[in-house]
Amino acid sequence: MNERFIEWLLTEKFFGRRKIIRTPAKVAAAYGIGYGVSEASKIIIPTGEKFGDFEDIDKKTKGRLLQFSPITIAHTGGNSANHLEMSKLAGVDFVEADIRLYRGKLSVTHGDNLPPPVIDYGIRFLGLGKSVPLVAEIIEHSANNHQRLFLDLKEESPNSTDHVVKTVNKFGLSERTAYTGKWAALDRISHKTKKNGSLFYSIDNEEQLFSFMDEQTARQAQGVSLNFTLAREDVVKDLRTHGVINVFVYGADYSYEIISALEADADAIITGNLGALELWKKPSRDYFFA
């Protein structure tokens, strides 16, 4: 247990106005809170996510994967500094990160199972390395690593979208960043950047697929981020008939799912399976979606 954190707990205003609390009961309570933060970090922040070299890919399957040469995107690759480093070693083309409003700030996290803010503050203070990172922290780290970003915008407000674009520009990654999300966020990005080729409409289910097809006549999106359960040959062909140029597929964890998406003519694979993605490791290629 970090003694500085315990001291902070004992001297914070909710325990007393900067006066050390010395009663055994309150000291025990402080230690209990500190211990609770440490234990909560193990429960609330998942450690068993599918990211890394988690699949034993046999020689035959590797051969099938190597018949293709997709753009590679590490799903949750931007979740932490550690994930960014692992993605860099795997040689992926982009790292993906979900952007949500948390603790009143734009942060990078996947899923809605987030710790209460006070727990996250404690985790960060204790240095457990599992606190929810801010968008600026991940973007800066990516810039230092010369990595490309694929940002999934979960917040659609103009202020949130503008902040993301401003941060990307601040660290010089405007030409190395693609975005995915719904129309409201993507329309704002298009307005701010004057570019459409780096925008990918997110399609999670069949209802959204049909809705996209209806609106595509007027909007003319060039790219989609498609759930792998929809990544069938007929769907991909239909999307291209409707003017879609780039079909990126997400959610495929294992090789057989990835191969199925590639056989359906997907242009990119978004997965946490670094063992599969690193098979396509290549000399640096530039992907600028004009």
Neighbours of 212 (CB within 10 A): 21
Shared domain for 69 and 212, answered yes or no, is yes
Distance from the first to the final alpha carbon of the chain: 51
The total number of structural domains in the chain stands at: 2
Per the CB < 8 A criterion, the answer to whether 84 and 138 are in contact is: yes
- Could you tell me if residue 268 is inside a domain? yes
- Could you tell me if residue 214 is inside a domain? yes
- CATH code assigned at 249: 3.20.20.190
Per the CB < 8 A criterion, the answer to whether 164 and 153 are in contact is: yes
Shared domain for 72 and 171, answered yes or no, is yes
- Could you tell me if residue 120 is inside a domain? no
- Inter-CA distances, 159 with 18, 117, 144, 188, Å: 37, 21, 26, 10
Compute the Cα dihedral for 269, 270, 276, 279 and give only its sign.
positive
State how beta strands 223-227 and 94-102 pair. Answer: unpaired
- Could you tell me if residue 290 is inside a domain? no
pLDDT of residue 113: 58
Shared domain for 27 and 169, answered yes or no, is no
pLDDT digits (tens, 9 = 90+) for 68-106: 999 999 999 998 899 999 999 999 999 999 998 766 677
Q: If you search the block for the tokens 């609390």, which residue do you land on?
A: 21
Shared domain for 158 and 185, answered yes or no, is yes
Shared domain for 88 and 204, answered yes or no, is yes
Residues of the chain with pLDDT under 50: 1-3, 5-35, 37-47, 118, 290
Domain that holds residue 8: 3-44
- Could you tell me if residue 127 is inside a domain? no
pTM of the entire predicted model:
0.79
Shared domain for 97 and 234, answered yes or no, is yes
Shared domain for 170 and 241, answered yes or no, is yes
pLDDT of residue 106: 78
DSSP for 224-258, please give it: EEEEGGG--HHHHHHHHHTT--EEEEE---SHHHH
- Could you tell me if residue 197 is inside a domain? yes
pLDDT of residue 7: 46
